[in-house]
């Protein structure tokens, strides 16, 4: 199997497994486990704290040892975490599962994209990221259907099924994943070389206004995401009741995913690593509309307005992921790419750690909608920072970025 096809398989199957597990996860936590709005946010805060602590070390290991092994270990750990999550419906078990799952996520973050950027032919690597994003969204679509159907047997069943599929994906990668066009940055087994790799990634960010802007904007975007992720479904629940929650939220997730597939395909026609400024301008526009939609969603009092804004925010956030991937690939060199991806993901985790609890406290003391609107306000600085980073991006890849 070619690296191009394997990457598409990872995107599709990984997304299918993850969506199967997480489509109704918040409803599972709020109803079957009985978590409060603040506990819901604290679960996410623990997740992001683990991601923050482990992000750079795992990225360095991927750059110094093996991106392939990092990705394989990541999927196996994610699968194990999901199995704990779905089989033991308690707050303590969910916290433990979050730790295991989060370590797996950071093993994959950055390493998967860096592996693809090196192993896939340069002429089709942008196409791979765009197609991977679309297949990921298609996998999400089928995962929503699977989660909705499996939930009739119990809200924990889709989580367990997603865990089993994620473990199987890790086993599949053991057999088919290869690493032929990349070699470790330095001699294996050296703590000093790991330190130098972290320093190299840090210098790459500090010396580039573009990369520094991307990382700073990611921090503010992270501040906004935790409140929306954790509180949006509980906010919508009173509009519909609990009688048909699986069908309602499964249907909403399906509509959002279909819209994301179409929008990603449309944007993908104009997205290329050779035009970094265009990518940055697009990211800025997406985040600006997302911020407005999130604030309005939290203030919505009519079910039709709440649903419309919820779908808009989900659609745009799904579409932003491949845009950010292509933007970062265009701004990094191969030697430190996984480490820089990890630094950017660490900024996202730190933002969620900082922004999640305030949104949860507002949701607990005022209303869940107020917590979501507060999270939308956190996104506004990201719009300004991404706009600055876009201005610092070169018009084309053959021109050096302004630093």
C-alpha 265/C-alpha 354 separation (Å) is 34
Q: Is the dihedral of CA 174, 70, 93, 353 positive or negative?
A: negative
Query: Is 303 within 8 Å of 244 (Cβ atoms)?
Result: no
C-alpha 111/C-alpha 336 separation (Å) is 11
Query: Is 108 within 8 Å of 71 (Cβ atoms)?
Result: yes
pLDDT at 242: 56
pLDDT at 366: 86
CATH among 3.40.250.10, 1.10.3720.10, 3.30.70.270, 1.20.1250.20 for 3-176+191-392: 1.20.1250.20
Nearest Cα to Cα of residue 20 among 135, 166, 127: 166
Question: Consecutive 10-residue runs of the chain (403 residues): their mean pLDDT?
Answer: 89 94 87 83 83 73 80 95 93 93 88 84 81 84 90 92 96 89 56 57 66 87 87 82 68 81 74 72 91 93 88 88 81 69 80 86 87 93 90 61 37
Nearest Cα to Cα of residue 226 among 361, 115, 28, 398: 361
Give, as one character, the DSSP assignment of residue 187.
Answer: -
| Exposed e or buried b per residue across 17-48, where buried means at least 16 C-beta atoms within 10 angstroms of its C-beta | bbbbbbbbbbbbbbeebebebbbbbbbbbbbb
Assigned token pair, 275 = 């035009």
pLDDT at 401: 40
Query: Is 129 within 8 Å of 323 (Cβ atoms)?
Result: no
pLDDT at 117: 83
Cα 350 to the chain's mean position, in Å? 14
Return the domain boundaries, the chain. 3-176+191-392
Residue with tokens 């470790």: 184
Contacts of 140 by beta carbon, 8 Å cutoff, 6+ apart: 15, 16, 18, 19, 253, 257, 260, 318
pLDDT at 274: 62
| Exposed e or buried b per residue across 135-150, where buried means at least 16 C-beta atoms within 10 angstroms of its C-beta | bbbbbbbbbbbbbbeb
């Amino acid at each position: 199997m070619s690296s191009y096809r394997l990457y598409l398989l990872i995107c599709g199957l990984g997304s299918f497994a993850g969506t199967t597990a997480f489509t109704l996860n918040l409803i599972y936590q709020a109803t079957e486990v009985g978590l409060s709005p603040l506990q819901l946010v604290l679960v996410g805060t623990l997740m992001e704290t683990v991601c923050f602590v482990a992000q750079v070390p795992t990225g360095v290991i991927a750059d110094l040892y093996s991106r392939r092994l990092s990705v394989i270990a990541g999927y196996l750990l994610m699968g194990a975490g999901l199995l704990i999550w779905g089989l033991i419906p308690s707050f303590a078990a969910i916290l433990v599962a979050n730790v295991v799952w989060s370590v797996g996520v950071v093993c994959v973050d950055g390493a998967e994209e860096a592996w693809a950027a090196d192993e896939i032919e340069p002429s089709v690597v942008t196409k791979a990221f765009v197609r991977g994003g679309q297949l990921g969204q298609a996998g999400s679509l089928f995962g929503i259907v699977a989660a909705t159907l499996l939930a009739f047997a119990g809200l924990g069943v889709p989580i367990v099924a997603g865990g089993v599929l994620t473990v199987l994906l890790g086993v599949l990668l053991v057999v088919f994943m290869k690493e032929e066009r990349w070699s470790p940055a330095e001699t294996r087994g050296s703590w000093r070389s790991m330190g130098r790799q972290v320093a190299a990634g840090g210098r790459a960010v500090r010396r580039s206004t573009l990369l520094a802007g991307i990382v700073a904007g990611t921090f503010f975007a992270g501040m906004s995401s935790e409140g929306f992720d954790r509180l949006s479904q509980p906010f919508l629940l009173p509009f519909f009741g609990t009688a048909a929650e699986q069908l309602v939220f499964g249907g909403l997730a399906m509509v959002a995913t279909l819209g994301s597939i179409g929008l990603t395909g449309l944007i993908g026609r104009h997205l290329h690593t050779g035009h970094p400024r265009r990518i940055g301008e697009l990211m800025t526009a997406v985040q600006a509309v997302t911020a407005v939609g999130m604030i309005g969603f939290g203030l919505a009092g009519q079910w039709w307005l709440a649903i419309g804004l919820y779908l808009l925010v989900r659609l745009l956030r799904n579409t932003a992921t491949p845009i950010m991937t292509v933007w970062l690939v265009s701004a990094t060199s191969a030697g430190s790419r996984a480490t820089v991806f990890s630094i950017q993901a660490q900024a996202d985790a730190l933002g969620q750690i900082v922004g999640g609890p305030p949104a949860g406290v507002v949701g607990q003391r005022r209303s869940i909608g107020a917590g979501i609107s507060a999270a939308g306000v956190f996104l506004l600085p990201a719009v300004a920072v991404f706009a600055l980073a876009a201005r610092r991006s070169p018009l084309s890849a053959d021109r050096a970025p302004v630093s």
